[in-house]
Amino acid sequence: MLTLAEKIIFFWMVVLSLYYGWMYFDRAIKTVLRGQGELYLDNLPRRIWDGLVSFVSLRTVFKTRPMESAFHAAIAWGFMYYFLINGLDVLGGYFPAVHEWTQSPAMNWYRLLGDILSIGVLVGMVYFLSRRFMVETPALNIRENVKLHPKARNGMRRDSLIVGIFILLHVGFRFIGESFLVAQEGGDAWQPFATTVSHLWAGMTPAGQLVGWHVSWWIALGLILAFIPYFPYTKHLHLMVAPINFMTRPHKRSIGELKPLDFEDETIEQFGAAKLTDLSQTQIVDAFACIMCNRCQDVCPAYNTGKELSPSALEINKRYGIKDNFGPIAIGESDLDLMDVAISESAVWACTTCGACTEVCPVGNEPFTDIMDIRRNQVLMESEFPEELQQAFRGMERNGNPWQMANDRMEWTQPLDFKVPTVEENPDFDVLYWVGCAGAFDPGAQKIARSFATILNKAGVNYAVLGNQETCTGDTARRAGNEYLFTEMAMGNIETLNGAGVKKIVATCPHCLHTIKNEYPQFGGEYEVVHHTEFINELIGSGKIELNGNKLDSVTFHDPCYLGRHNGVYDAPREVLTELSVSVPEMEHNHNLSFCCGAGGAQMWKEEEEGSAAVNATRYAEAEATGAETIAVGCPFCNQMLTDANAEAGEKMDVKDIAELVAENLA
């Protein structure tokens, strides 16, 4: 189909495009390899399969923005198919037999899919360009109080425009070229859209139609060759990096599980992340994978209450910082100071570690893990952190709890009319009830602990508590960046648990549950850990406890972040509430897209960063909007935050833990 001269010219254009493209791809690879650790490549066949499934199915894209996701899918699936189309078009240009084969009845399906997907890409691209440049959807913007690279605000728009026009021209001219071929053949039932357009060329001579095809072929494929060197610099590199991101991430872990630091290795001089290259290779890949869609920002409780934190801006700043210093960073002659380039100090301490950004990201990024590593640097290397956290750290160091209480940890049991056994008093226990610091010292959480103990006693469960042997799990220390303190507390608790012969633990605090279940194994602590709502649900299901049948009118459930997103427990609390209430309406944000109460990430122990609204007040408003009379919770921190919000609102609702509701309705 091509002349000899065209074949030679195109060949050398391919060589030059690939050469310059590889030069920039090579810089990206070297930048990633300057990160800490290594990409996860164990069980590679399984990883490749998972990456391909995520890439092709777009299952992560459809979590939010259903309309935009549908248009994105049209473009993405079309672009995937265009890898085949472009390959066969090049071969068809060089070898007539290949072209004839693609036009044969054997390839009817190929032409039909190409015809449909081409229109899908064009329609989808027009939608997105209109959304960004005509409608100017607010979701695509980042608030002015958020740190954003100086080149990013206009750069993202320019990048979107360039790539959008490229896609329209590339797919559009390929589609037009196909319509010229259809015009020569007098129509093709397997290409209904191309056939419709081909009527425009019906009056042209066959020679004119052939010229039209040549011009379209060169524009369509020439644009690809021109785009390849530009591609690594754009956010649309996510097309290639997203599946790699899914393939090379740690598997079988909770969203919020953090990696330990090795304080015994004397060769390590840096703890946490001060520079870009202090991050792991996976975290640097995140910057290349980010599509800058702001979905993470949509669900971030800090951003949505007016604070300086945008997880999207963090990744965008990393990417633009790399882009500014691509060559020097790749060869080790430059680096990026994360606090200078990527994020503000206020934003670092505004994160609640709720995991919503990670849950919703369509390319598998984990922005809040960067923040946790930056916090580690701020605490361990710089000793710069909110003053209020010093009080919590001191309490954990001296008294084993962030409340700084030196009281007997069994005082919460005094109002009970039965004995809560300790491991010394009942060494042959089946289940250890981990009370937690909140249950031991916070008045609101003490009610939860007493209610759960009442349920255990009523069900005849063979249980025990650690009593004064129990200390804080260290969750607050770890989320606040004080990894050294967390390590000390974890090792001490594991020694105690192992010494008591603990096998199964039930916890009323999701933060305790998460830390013991997902992070203590890093230090040799392996236990079966369940949440009290799961345990209560099992007791009801097995008939070990019965309810009196008096049902509440309406109860809405607030999903704790560390119970739901971090540990996947959604059904058990709702199944219990179904037994307790006539109606269980859902809040606007629920299950894996639930909105944080505002206490996580050590926020419980400090004042919120300045913003337009408090996180707990925002969540309370969602609960109130359901019309329910009661907010059911499954976390002592959520209980405190929503109780405070309820008081501010004038006590319009009841706020109670599921254990309290069950204990009040035992038969």
Dihedrals phi, psi of 377, to nearest 5 degrees = -65, -45
User: DSSP code of 151?
Assistant: T
Could you report the per-residue pLDDT of 267-323, keeping only the tens digit for each? Answer: 999 999 999 999 999 999 999 999 999 999 999 999 999 999 999 999 999 999 999
Could you report the per-residue pLDDT of 330-358, keeping only the tens digit for each? Answer: 888 889 999 999 999 999 999 999 999 99
Residue 647 lies in a domain: yes
The answer to whether 329 touches 34, Cβ cutoff 8 Å, is yes
Per-residue 3-state assignment (H helix, E strand, C coil) for 575-616? HHHHHHEEECCCCCCCHHHCCCCCCCCCHHHCCCCCCCCCHH
Residue 466 lies in a domain: yes
Interatomic CA distance for residues 368 and 353, integer angstroms: 6
Is the confidence at residue 656, as pLDDT, over 90? yes
Alpha helices in 274-433 (DSSP H): 281-289, 295-299, 301-304, 311-324, 326-330, 338-341, 345-348, 356-360, 367-376, 387-399
The residue out of 175, 199, 233 marking a domain boundary is 233
Interatomic CA distance for residues 435 and 415, integer angstroms: 16
Is the confidence at residue 1, as pLDDT, over 80? no
Cα 57 from chain centroid (whole Å)? 18
The answer to whether 385 touches 476, Cβ cutoff 8 Å, is no
- pLDDT exceeding 90 applies to what percent of the chain? 83
Is the confidence at residue 237, as pLDDT, over 90? no
Average confidence (pLDDT) over 152-170: 91
Could you report the per-residue pLDDT of 203-223, keeping only the tens digit for each? Answer: 899 999 989 999 999 999 999
pLDDT of residue 256: 87
Is the confidence at residue 445, as pLDDT, over 90? yes
Could you report the per-residue pLDDT of 365-423, keeping only the tens digit for each? Answer: 999 999 999 999 999 999 999 999 999 999 999 999 999 998 899 999 999 999 999 99
- Looking at the 3D structure of the chain, how many domains does it have? 3
Q: 290 and 216, same structural domain?
A: no
Q: How confident is the model at residue 154 (pLDDT cuts 50, 70, 90)?
A: confident
Q: 96 and 202, same structural domain?
A: yes
The residue out of 381, 408, 431 marking a domain boundary is 381
Average confidence (pLDDT) over 596-606: 95
Residue 41 lies in a domain: no
| Residues near 472 by beta carbon (within 8 Å), at least 6 away in sequence | 396, 400, 401, 402, 437, 489
Cα 50 from chain centroid (whole Å)? 17
Q: 187 and 145, same structural domain?
A: yes
pLDDT of residue 235: 84
pLDDT of residue 18: 93
Residue 512 lies in a domain: yes
Q: 341 and 407, same structural domain?
A: no
Per-residue b or e along 565-590, where b marks 16 or more CB atoms closer than 10 Å to that residue's CB: bbbebbebbbbbbebbbebbeebebb
Of the candidate ranges 176-190, 474-488, 616-630, 639-653, the one whose mean pLDDT is the lowest:
176-190
Q: 456 and 377, same structural domain?
A: no
State both tokens at 255.
Answer: 């969203």
Amino acid identity for residue 469 in this structure? Q
Query: Where in the sequence is the domain holding 324, given as residue range(s)?
Result: 276-381
Could you report the per-residue pLDDT of 611-654, keeping only the tens digit for each? Answer: 889 999 999 999 999 999 999 999 999 999 999 999 999 999 99
The radius of gyration computed from the CA coordinates of the chain, to the nearest angstrom, equals 29
Q: Please name the residue that has the structure tokens 């019309």.
A: 627
Interatomic CA distance for residues 169 and 159, integer angstroms: 15
Residue 390 lies in a domain: no
Q: 469 and 418, same structural domain?
A: yes
- pLDDT exceeding 70 applies to what percent of the chain? 100
Q: 495 and 370, same structural domain?
A: no
pLDDT of residue 641: 98
Average confidence (pLDDT) over 162-191: 93
Average confidence (pLDDT) over 183-193: 90
Is the confidence at residue 471, as pLDDT, over 80? yes
Q: 377 and 400, same structural domain?
A: no
How many CB atoms neighbour CB 642 within 10 A?
Answer: 26
Amino acid identity for residue 493 in this structure? N
Q: 598 and 451, same structural domain?
A: yes
Is the confidence at residue 541, as pLDDT, over 80? yes
User: DSSP code of 378?
Assistant: I
pLDDT of residue 24: 87
Q: How confident is the model at residue 253 (pLDDT cuts 50, 70, 90)?
A: confident
Q: 208 and 149, same structural domain?
A: yes
Q: 361 and 408, same structural domain?
A: no
Residue 354 lies in a domain: yes
Q: 184 and 99, same structural domain?
A: yes
Mean pLDDT score of the chain, rounded to an integer?
94
Is the confidence at residue 250, as pLDDT, over 90? no
Q: Please name the residue that has the structure tokens 């009281």.
A: 407
Interatomic CA distance for residues 178 and 194, integer angstroms: 7
Residue 659 lies in a domain: yes
pLDDT of residue 239: 84
Dihedrals phi, psi of 609, to nearest 5 degrees = -65, 155
Residue 287 lies in a domain: yes
The residue out of 355, 381, 407 marking a domain boundary is 381
